[in-house]
A and B are shown apart, each in its own frame.
Chain A
Amino acid sequence: NAGVTQTPKFHILKIGQSMTLQCTQDMNHNYMYWYRQDPGMGLKLIYYSVGAGITDKGEVPNGYNVSRSTTEDFPLRLELAAPSQTSVYFCASVQPGGLGTGELFFGEGSRLTVL
């Protein structure tokens, strides 16, 4: 049981290029999330999904796209990368249950630099 796996761990991108950050989980969780973490700013929600075929915007969705074709995978695509997208990206998943459950399981993060 690997939990939440993200690839790549590190990547350098040129301005204007596009790329996809991969996220997969083997816990059969319905809910998945993408956050970005910037120094001194905490984590901001980019996009989330409550199940295959369903996605929705979070707090900072501009410049990103997602898809959810399977329960396991939730890739994040950066279109026309900009320096402002330099960040550490975290994927997370949760299986909703009763009140008090809902612990998010996080991946190890993907550190992206846009130059």
Chain B
Amino acid sequence: AQRVTQPEKLLSVFKGAPVELKCNYSYSGSPELFWYVQYSRQRLQLLLRHISRESIKGFTADLNKGETSFHLKKPFAQEEDSAMYYCALSGGSNYKLTFGKGTLLTVNP
């Protein structure tokens, strides 16, 4: 069975501070990992995916297969980064995503 764990329900940082949202997964095959974000009163949207190795809005995430982790990082948090962040895993066909429980990030001024 596949599982995604986000250990922090809430994370609060100050503007300009580094931020790291943790994500660990359990899957026996080769997973595809994603980070989705939900800003206040907006729909869920893709932030980034591991296969692209891209940086979106200053966020990066590296897949560490040894530690089965896909932590999301940003060196300098901004107030507009305040949102709910979900780590998700696609482990097979049909693009079914298994989501973690989410981390609510608050960036204080």
Question: Which residue numbers of A lie inside 8 Å of B, CB to CB?
Answer: 31, 33, 35, 40-45, 48, 50, 56, 58, 90, 92, 94, 96, 99-100, 102-104, 106-109
Contacts and interface: CB of A to CB of B under 8 A. Distances in A.
Contacts of B51: 99-100
Interface stretch (B12-20, B42-50, B62-70): B42-50
Contacts of A40: 9, 101-102
Contacts of B101: 40-42
Interface of B: 4, 6, 9, 32, 36, 43-46, 49, 51-52, 86, 90, 94-102
Given A43-B99, A50-B94, A96-B95, 7 more contacts: A35-B99, A40-B101, A42-B100, A99-B51, A102-B32, A104-B36, A104-B97
